[in-house]
Amino acid sequence: MKKFLNRRNAVLAMVVLIAAAFLGFKSGDDRNFQIAKNLEIFNSIVKELDMFYVDTIDPNKTIREGIDNMLYSLDPYTVYYPENDQDELEMMLKGSYGGIGSIIRYKPELKYTMIVEPYEGMPAAESGLKPGDLLLEIDGKDLKGNSDVSTLLRGQVNTSFKLKVKRPGVKDPLEFTIVRRSIQMPTIPYYAMMDNQVGYINLNSFSGNPSKDFKKAFLDLKKQGITSLVIDIRDNGGGLLEQAVEIANYFLPRGKVIVTTKGKVKQASSTYKTLREPLDLDIPIAVLVNSGTASASEILSGALQDLDRAVIIGNRTFGKGLVQVPRSLPYGGNMKVTTSKYYIPSGRCVQAIDYKHRNEDGSVGTIPDSLTSVFHTAAGREVRDGGGVTPDITIKQERLPNIVYYLLRDDLIFDYATDYCLKHPTIASAEDFKLTDADYEEFKKKVKAADFKYDQQSEKILKTLKEAAEFEGYMSEASDEFKALEKKLNHNLDRDLDYFSKDIKEILALEIVKRYYYKRGAIIEQLKGDKGMEEAVKVLTSPERYKEILTVPVAEKK
């Protein structure tokens, strides 16, 4: 016992000496030591693996995975881009890249990549590529089994290549010579004057220079005689913060603070104000948002809400209040790193997820409403932080039926649209197009012929309930009730195709119109019966209601 006490006292004495030694360091010196120590350990691990691991390791792959996991433990937006993977970063910053301009998708069951959506006016579309084309060869190289065809399609601007494709409905392969161009994604794919002199601008990105296109569209609409404006930024994932400030400036006085960034280092903290004279301070504005509205989109919508300049309509936005900047790394690499949080005019931050305080299992959750704080707009209206931008008018977000998800997953809607285009060289304008009952009957036949199977949530839940009832001993008493319920919930494809025909027809029409009129046509089709747009028109054509929404209720004034 005495020996144990002496040993314990010796250990305690050693711990005290070590603690005293470390306390002698300044906190900065200790931090530098910890970084240097762990870098040396990491370096040694890689060398030991390379020398002794049973199989030969790929240093690029192994270390890249280590880097990616390290960065992801911080947040999903801090990302490393090696020298040979700069296209995505360039796309985010400039909104452009060298390529053919098309969405593609690898089809595992066919082992080939397929053209999904060519962009209007881009090389893929101008060369004649169509959705459904399977990419067989590039410059004679067989693409079967290659799931990374995008790297072959992208390249230096003005370089050309030969592409062989297999087109549905065409017996022999087709060959195209395509010249790569700088692919600039359209930031304003559609704008128009709607009924009641309401202007509409669809803004789908803040990458590149969208403020220039937005200004041009708005001034054109003014010439056409609009008296109010809808800005649609639903599913706009953001981009450049400065572009959001520039567009906000079109409708706000010079000198207004739009956003403030606050970071650990001085250069990460800035205040962004409107620097120019506005285009229009009086036109009524409605902004359409949803859960896909994020980052720079939330700066624009949040600033217009905080300064009582627009009515926000839709669903609560995503809640990304973090700012990233690119940092150069050795050997041509770059890192997009989160350097600060941003705060909109009321002083609130819209960040919804607290990545710093994680659960024990490493997961993160959204900040509960009970922990958010109240802020006030310029007029004194209450707004909250910590969960995106809450709209002034909430539109119920409709969920797609389960059957639609499986029809999309199995490409039955995509394939029907491909067949439809083969039979119809032209269709009515996007505004006038309508899927007929005969068209839908033909689609139903194709679905049945494909032996389509899908999971019904009610069947899954019933199965789980039966298992629980059996485990708890209730099954014998409730067996008749379960049999009756099973009969009612019996899988009936005919019934579901009819019952959910409205939703399915809308998706079918959207896919078909997109084939002929690209993104612009898809937006026109989506606006038909759009509840958010309908609500925006109601508000903008009712000056009294518009003013009431942007004013503090009398009961709240002090």
Supply the pLDDT for residue 95. 66
pLDDT tens-digit map of 469-511: 777 777 777 777 767 766 666 668 888 999 999 999 999 999 9
Assess whether pLDDT exceeds 60 at residue 9.
no
Same domain, 314 and 455: no
pLDDT per position as a tens digit, 196-214: 999 999 999 999 899 999 9
φ/ψ of 228, rounded to 5, equals -155, 170
The whole-angstrom separation of Cα 537 and Cα 551 is: 19
Q: What is the mean pLDDT of the chain?
A: 89
Q: What is the pLDDT of residue 24?
A: 47
| Alpha-carbon separation of residue 18 from 25, 30, 40, 87 (angstroms) | 11, 13, 21, 49
**Residues annotated as catalytic (active site), given as ranges:** 295, 306, 320
Which residues, 6 or more positions from 122, have their beta carbon under 8 angstroms from its beta carbon?
A: 100, 101, 102, 181, 183
My answer on whether 260 and 371 are in the same domain is yes
For 339-397, write each residue's pLDDT tens digit: 999 999 999 999 998 888 777 676 777 777 777 899 999 999 999 998 899 999 999 98
- Does residue 171 fall inside a structural domain? yes
Same domain (yes/no): 216, 128: no
- What percentage of the chain carries pLDDT values higher than 90? 73
Could you tell me the residue range of the domain that residue 258 belongs to?
Answer: 190-331+338-397
Give ∠ CA 237-241-242 in degrees, rounded to 5. 135
Neighbours of 134 (CB within 10 A): 19
Residue 88 lies in a domain: no
558 lies in a domain?
no
Q: Is the pLDDT of residue 245 over 60?
A: yes
User: Greatest CA span in the chain, whole angstroms?
Assistant: 97
Q: Taking a C-beta distance cutoff of 8 angstroms, is the pair 114, 146 a contact?
A: no
How far is it, in rounded angstroms, from Cα 351 to Cα 322? 7
Write down the pLDDT at residue 488.
62
**What pLDDT, on a 0 to 100 scale, did the predictor assign at position 462?**
67
Please indicate, yes or no, whether residues 166 and 220 belong to a single structural domain of this protein. Answer: no
Encode pLDDT of 517-556 as tens digits. Answer: 999 999 999 999 999 999 999 999 999 999 999 998 755 5
Structure tokens at 111: 């082992």
pLDDT digit string (tens) for 138-154?
A: 999 999 999 889 989 98
If asked whether residues 214 and 347 sit together in one domain, one would say: yes
| pLDDT bracket for residue 28 (50, 70, 90) | low
Judge contact between 305 and 383, C-beta under 8 A. yes
Q: Is the pLDDT of residue 83 over 90?
A: no
Per-residue pLDDT at 554: 59
As for how many domains the chain has, the answer is: 4
Q: Do both 276 and 413 map to the same domain?
A: no
Mean pLDDT of 146-163: 92
Q: Name every residue whose Cβ is closer than 8 Å to that of residue 55 and which is 6 or more positions away in sequence.
A: none
The answer to whether residues 257 and 313 belong to one domain is: yes
Q: Give pLDDT tens digits for 279-327.
A: 999 999 999 999 999 999 999 999 999 999 999 999 999 999 999 999 9
